[in-house]
Structure 1
C-alpha cells in the first residue's frame, strides 16, 4: 500500500512541476520574464513545426548552460526547454552544444521526418526566430546553404545542420556527445570515433589502463577521443602538436597519420602504442564527397566548404562501423615503460621518432 501511495504522490509532484511555469518555480529557480519569453518562443516554434511534447521524432539543440542571457549563465533555460517541449537528454532528444560563454542563448527545434527546423536566438529585443529547411536536397545546394545562412542563424548553420542530420540518422549517443563538445559534426570528428572503434578492438583498455593521445598533426579527431575516454589535456590524457612533415614519412598509401594512441598502465609500468592513419580517399568514396569538394576555391567563403563536411558526416552516420573501420590503418607499433607516454607527449619536434627511440 505504501508503494502505491508513493507512486501516486511522485506522479502528482511531476504533474505539478510540468503543468505550469509558475508552479514549477516553487520547486526550483524562480522564472524570470526572459524565461517566460523563452517558453513562449519554444512553443511557437513547435506550433510552426506542428509538433507537441508527445510527438515522436523531434529534438532540441541548444547552447543553454554554456551561452548567456542578459549577462548571466543560462542553465535554468534547460528546465524551460524540458517543460515546454518534453525533450530530455535521457531520450536522446535534447543536445547541448558547447559554445563560448559569451555567445547569446539559442535553440533549434528540429523535426526528423520533413527535416524542418526553427532556430530561435536571443537578442536585445527578445527572442527572434527563423524557419529552416535542412533537407539535404535543398541544403546541399550552394544557393540553399547561402540562403539559410543569410538569416538569424548565420554561421551557426554548420553546427545546427551537421548535428541535426546526424541525429536524424540515429548516430550513437557517444558520437552525439562528441559533437556537443566539438560544436559540430565533421569528417574529422568521425575519424576520431572510427579510431575509437579500432582501439576498442585492437588495443582495448584493461584494469588500471588509460589512454594517452597525441594528435600530430592536431585534427578534430582529438575531440572525439577526449569526449569518449575523458582523456583531456588537463588530466594529461591528450596532447596535440603540428608536425605534418615528420608524420608524412609514416604514411602508407592513402592513409596519412592522424594520431598516436598509447595504452598506459602505471602500476604495471608498461606503455603500448600505435600510430594510426586515416584513409580520407576511402571515406570520400563512401560518401561521394571529394577532396576538391572539401577544399573549394575561396575556402570557408565558399558554401561547398561546409556543405561537403555536413554531407560527408551525414553519409558516414548512415554506415555500419564495421564498414567504416577500413578507413583506419595501423602504421606501426611501439612499447616501453609507462614513462614513454610522457616522453612522446613532450617531444614537440617529432613525437613519432620519440616513440621509436625509447
Structure 2
C-alpha cells in the first residue's frame, strides 16, 4: 500500500545526498540551471505523491513537457528536463521523455503518466511564482536552491495541478464525464488532447519516428498520422538511391506536412519543400482520377541527377470507433491507436495516382515558383 511518508522520505534522502557537498556556483548560468533542474525534480515528486506512486521505484513513467520551448521572464526552462529525468528515469533513449513543441510564451507544463495504473499528473507552472525560486544570493548552494523551492507551496507554484486516470479503456467507459472535464480546461489546461493521445501512444509502443513527428506537430492527430503513413510508403516503395534526395510539394496541405518535413528532413529552409494552397475551385478543375491528389514527391537519382516523381493520395481507414461526441478527445484517441497498429501497412492508405519524369534541365523548384501550377505542368488539369 502506498505510504505518502515513504515517498517524502525518499525525496528528502535524495535532497540530502545531492546537497552534502554544499556546492556554490559563481556564474549566474549555473544558478539558473540548478533552479530549473530542481523545479523538474519538484514536479516529479508532486506527481508521485498525488498519484500514489513510489518515487524512485516506478521506472515506467512517461514524461511529456514543453520545457526547453517555454520561457519564463526571458529565461530558458530546458534544465527542468534534467530534473525530471533524475527522479522519473524517463529518457530520450528509451522513448519515454517527449519534448512537445510550443511557443516561447506558452505556459510551462509537465505531464507524468504511469501506464501501470493509468494515472497521469499534470502540473502547469504559475509564472508569477517563479521569481521566488531564485535565491537572492549570487552563488547559492544547492541546498539553498532546494530550500527556496520547497518554501513555495504547491498551490502557489502550480496554477493547475490535476490528476486523472487516462487509460484508454477508462476514458472510453466514462466518455461523457471526460468530455465535460476536458472541456473546462481545469483538467490538463489546454493540453488535454496532446497529453492523452501522445502519452497513450508511447505506452502502446509508438515508434520513435511517430514521436519525433508529433513532438514537432505538438499533438497526435489523424492528420499527422497520414503524413507518417506517406513516409512509410515512400521509404518502402519509392526509396532513394545513394546520393539521392527528395523534394516534397504539397498540393493539399494539412497536418501531414509536419511529419513529412520531420521524417524526410525536407524543409523549405534547406530547399526541399514547397506548399501550394489549392482551393476547392482549383481542385474542381483537376482531372477526375487525380482529385484526391495530396502531395507530389520528387526524387533525384544520386548518379544521373535526373528527377522522377509520384503524385500520391492518402485516405485514412474506417476505424470502427464509437462516436464519443463532436470533437471528443476519446474519438481522436481511438482513431490514433487504431492507426498506430497499422503504420506498417501504408499501402492500405496511400495510393500512387500519377508517375512522371521531369524533362531534362527541369528541377522541382521550377514548378514551385510563384504562379506555376505543378498539376497543370503534369497535364492533370482539365482543359
Deviations 1:164-186 (A, max 9, x none): 11111111111111010000111
Q: 2:357 aligns with which of 312, 319, 335?
A: 335
Match of 1:12 in 2: none
Question: What are the residue-to-residue correspondences of 1:1-358 with 2, within 5 Å?
Answer: 20=18, 29-30=30-31, 31-33=33-35, 35-49=37-51, 50-123=53-126, 124=128, 125-127=156-158, 128-140=160-172, 141-150=175-184, 151-245=186-280, 246-247=282-283, 249=286, 252=289, 256-265=292-301, 268-280=304-316, 283=317, 285=318, 287-289=319-321, 302-304=326-328, 306-319=329-342, 321-322=344-345, 324-336=346-358, 337=360, 339-346=362-369, 350-356=373-379
Judge conservation of contact 1:271–1:338 (CA < 8 Å) in 2. Answer: no
Match of 1:9 in 2: none
Deviations 1:126-151 (A, max 9, x none): 22421122122343424313213421
Deviations 1:239-262 (A, max 9, x none): 222114444635659x82221111
CA 1:307 to 1:25, structure 2 compared with 1: closer, same or farther past 3 Å? Answer: farther
Please report the TM-score for the alignment, with normalisation by the length of structure 1: 0.81
CA 1:338 to 1:20, structure 2 compared with 1: closer, same or farther past 3 Å? Answer: farther
Please report the TM-score for the alignment, with normalisation by the length of structure 2: 0.76
Tell me the CA shift for residue 338 of structure 1: 6.4
Unaligned runs of 5+ in 2: 1-13, 129-155
Please state whether the residue corresponding to 1:329 is helix, strand or coil. Answer: strand
Judge conservation of contact 1:269–1:338 (CA < 8 Å) in 2. Answer: no
Judge conservation of contact 1:251–1:257 (CA < 8 Å) in 2. Answer: no
Q: Which has more radius of gyration?
A: 2
Deviations 1:234-281 (A, max 9, x none): 11212222114444635659x82221111124763311111111123x
CA 1:18 to 1:181, structure 2 compared with 1: closer, same or farther past 3 Å? Answer: farther
Tell me the CA shift for residue 35 of structure 1: 4.3
CA RMSD of aligned residues (A): 3.0
Q: Matched residues in 2 for 1:180 and 1:288: separation?
A: 27
Tell me the CA shift for residue 331 of structure 1: 0.6
Deviations 1:23-63 (A, max 9, x none): 69779833555543442232120233314345243210010
Q: Matched residues in 1 for 2:117 and 2:372: separation?
A: 50
Judge conservation of contact 2:41–2:84 (CA < 8 Å) in 1. Answer: yes
Judge conservation of contact 1:275–1:332 (CA < 8 Å) in 2. Answer: yes
Q: How many residue pairs end up in the alignment?
A: 327
Q: Which of 340-349 and 191-200 deviates more?
A: 340-349
Unaligned runs of 5+ in 1: 1-15, 297-301
Judge conservation of contact 2:229–2:343 (CA < 8 Å) in 1. Answer: no
Q: Matched residues in 2 for 1:99 and 1:51: separation?
A: 30
Q: Matched residues in 1 for 2:337 and 2:22: separation?
A: 38
Q: Matched residues in 1 for 2:20 and 2:109: separation?
A: 23
Q: Matched residues in 1 for 2:92 and 2:194: separation?
A: 18
Please state whether the residue corresponding to 1:273 is helix, strand or coil. Answer: strand
